[in-house]
C-alpha cells in the first residue's frame, strides 16, 4: 500500500531523526519523541494520504516538567 505519512508537532513538521523517530508497520503509524520537554507540548497530528483517500488524527501532548534521570 503506497501511503504518504506526515507528522506535525505544534504545527511544525516533525522530521525523522534527531529527537523524533517515526515509522509505519502495516496500517499502524508510530511517533517517538526523545528528550521531551515543555516546548514539545501541544497538538500532535498524523496525516495519511493515499491515491484514494486522506485520514488525519490528533492528540494533545501535555508536558508537566523535565526531570534529570542521571547526574554525573
- Reading the block at residue 17, the C-alpha cell is 531523526
Nearest residue to 57 via CA among 45, 48, 67: 45
Domains and CATH numbers, the chain: 4-61 (2.60.40.10)
**Per-residue pLDDT, 64:** 83
Contacts 24+ apart (CB under 8 A), 39-42: 40/9, 40/10, 41/10, 42/9, 42/10, 42/11
* pTM attached to this predicted model: 0.79
pLDDT digits (tens, 9 = 90+) for 23-66: 999 889 999 999 888 888 899 999 999 999 999 999 999 988 76
pLDDT over 70 at 8, yes or no: yes
Closest CA to 3 of 47, 38, 49, 66: 49
Amino acid at each position: 500500500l503506497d501511503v504518504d505519512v506526515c507528522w506535525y508537532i505544534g504545527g511544525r513538521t516533525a522530521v525523522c531523526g534527531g529527537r523524533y523517530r517515526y515509522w509505519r508497520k502495516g496500517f499502524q503509524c508510530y511517533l517517538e519523541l526523545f528528550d521531551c520537554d515543555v516546548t514539545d507540548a501541544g497538538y500532535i497530528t498524523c496525516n495519511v494520504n493515499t491515491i484514494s483517500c486522506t485520514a488525519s488524527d490528533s492528540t494533545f501532548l501535555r508536558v508537566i516538567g523535565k526531570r534529570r534521570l542521571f547526574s554525573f
